[in-house]
Amino acid sequence: MATFMPLTLILVILWSVLFQMDIHRDSIRVGRYQETFKQQIIHPLIQAMDDQFIHTPDHCVSYQLVRASAFFPTRVDKFSGNDHVNGQVDGVDFQFSDVKLLQRHTDSKGRVTWEKLFCGTFFVAEFNKHTQGVTVIHPETWEYGAPSYTRYLKMDNPEFNQQFNVYGTDSIEAHYLLTHTMMKRLMEIKKLATEDLLITFADGCIYLAIDYGNDPNEAPINIPVSNRVIQYIHTLQLLVDVIRELKLNEKLWAKR
Amino acid sequence: MTILLIISAVTVTLIIILVKIFNTLIDKKNQVTNIFSSTDVLLKKRYNLIPNLVSSVSRYMEHEKEVLQKITELRNQANKPDITDDQKITLDNELSSALGSIMVAVENYPDLKANENFLHLQHILTEIEAQISAARRAYNQAVTNYNNAIEMIPTNFMARSMGYTHKKVFGIKESEKQNINIKALFNR
* Average of per-residue pLDDT across B12-37: 93
The helix-helix angle for B2-58 and B85-105 (nearest 10°) equals 30
Given CB atoms, is B72 within the 8 Å cutoff of chain A? Answer: no
What's the pLDDT score for residue B52?
85
The alpha-carbon gap from A172 to the nearest alpha carbon of chain B, in Å, equals 5
Whether residue A37 has pLDDT greater than 70: yes
Rounded to whole angstroms, the Cα distance separating A190 from A139 reads: 9
Of A154, A172, A254, the CB nearest to B35: A172
For all residues of chain A together, what is the average pLDDT?
Answer: 82
Rounded to whole angstroms, the Cα distance separating B50 from B40 reads: 15
The alpha-carbon gap from A246 to the nearest alpha carbon of chain B, in Å, equals 14
The alpha-carbon gap from A177 to the nearest alpha carbon of chain B, in Å, equals 8
Which residues from chain B sit within 8 angstroms of residue A171, using beta carbons? 31, 35, 138, 141-142
Whether residue B81 has pLDDT greater than 80: yes
Q: Which residue of B has its CA nearest to A183?
A: B178
B2 phi/psi in degrees, rounded to 5: -60, -40
Rounded to whole angstroms, the Cα distance separating A23 from A215 reads: 20
Whether residue A24 has pLDDT greater than 60: no
H-helix or E-strand spanning residue A177: helix A171-177
**Is the residue at A13 inside a domain?**
no
Whether residue A254 has pLDDT greater than 70: no
What's the pLDDT score for residue A253?
44
Determine, for residues A172 and B39 on separate chains, whether the beta-carbon distance falls below 8 Å: yes
* Dihedral over Cα of B126, B131, B132, B134: its sign: positive
Of A154, A179, A181, the CB nearest to B141: A154
A50 phi/psi in degrees, rounded to 5: -165, 125
H-helix or E-strand spanning residue A86: strand A78-89
Among chain A, residues having any CB pair with chain B shorter than 8 Å are: 153-156, 171-176, 179-181, 252-254
**Is the residue at A153 inside a domain?**
yes
Domains of chain B: 31-186 (1.20.1440.20)
Q: Give whichever of A87-91, A96-100, A242-246, B1-5 has the largest mean pLDDT.
A: A96-100
The alpha-carbon gap from A181 to the nearest alpha carbon of chain B, in Å, equals 7
What's the pLDDT score for residue A26?
54
**Is the residue at A71 inside a domain?**
yes
Summarised one tens digit per residue, pLDDT across range A220-234 is: 556 676 777 787 787
Determine, for residues A253 and B135 on separate chains, whether the beta-carbon distance falls below 8 Å: no
What's the pLDDT score for residue B82?
84
Range of the domain at A90: 56-255
Total of domains in chain A: 1
Output A45 or B18, whichever has higher pLDDT: B18
